[in-house]
Amino acid sequence: MNYENLKTLIQESRTTRRFKKDTKVSMTDLREILDLARITSSAMNAQPIKYILVTKEDDVLKLAQTAKWASHLSSWDQNEDERPSAFLLMLNDQMIDGFPMFDAGASFTAISLAAKSKGLSVCPMASIDKELCKKLFVIPDCYDVMIGIALGVGAENIKLVDTDDFDTNYYREDGETHCVPKRSLKQIIAGEY
């Protein structure tokens, strides 16, 4: 893979909140995706991140219904026909002394890219109902639920927009195309020496 291929993959790996109805994500897909997440960098190589894989329709529905979708879009909420097909839950194994926030971010990037390369899109969800997760699944006390990741076949147009504004809230153009402002290269380079 060259730089341009990787650039396209990263550009197209966007948070997605509207998914195609009646498509399945298999346990095999989730396991293959996690087989890449598990080899990402980890502070002290401690690897504290564990996962729960969810494809059962009832459980996916409950997780999707209780999470908060797109807090910047006050007049939109995900409808019945836009639900994801699966969830991954990222857990921090507190028995392992590590740097879970950073490790989770590194793993999430691999998950997002691996999913995209399989034709799937994802939405990382800090708003996942953690208490509900503990009710639905067997989660040992030493595992802290960090974040949920919804997965499915994406069904929305998403556009990246370079910005020099302070405000980076995403918005829907004409109520349809989802626009995601990203600070320009000039804005993020704090120094060059």
Contact residues toward ligand FMN (CB under 6 A) are 14-15, 17, 67-70, 123-127, 147, 170, 180
Give 27 or 64: the residue with its C-beta nearer to ligand FMN: 64
Neighbours of 193 (CB within 10 A): 2
Tell the residue number behind the tokens 């699944």, with chain if given: 137
Neighbours of 70 (CB within 10 A): 16
* Residue 71 CB, nearest approach to ligand FMN (Å): 7
Instruction: At 81, list the tokens.
Output: 């026909």
* Residue 193 CB, nearest approach to ligand FMN (Å): 29
Are the beta carbons of 147 and 104 closer than 8 angstroms? Answer: yes
Residue 66 Cα distances to 50, 62, 69, 138, 144, angstroms: 22, 6, 9, 19, 18
Give 14 or 191: the residue with its C-beta nearer to ligand FMN: 14
Give 34 or 147: the residue with its C-beta nearer to ligand FMN: 147
* Residue 26 CB, nearest approach to ligand FMN (Å): 24
Give 17 or 83: the residue with its C-beta nearer to ligand FMN: 17
If you ran DSSP here, which 8-state letter would residue 178 be given? E
Tell the residue number behind the tokens 């007049």, with chain if given: 75
* Residue 32 CB, nearest approach to ligand FMN (Å): 22
Can you say whether the dihedral through the CA atoms of 122, 126, 132, 138 is positive or negative? positive
Instruction: At 129, list the tokens.
Output: 């109902």
Give 98 or 124: the residue with its C-beta nearer to ligand FMN: 124
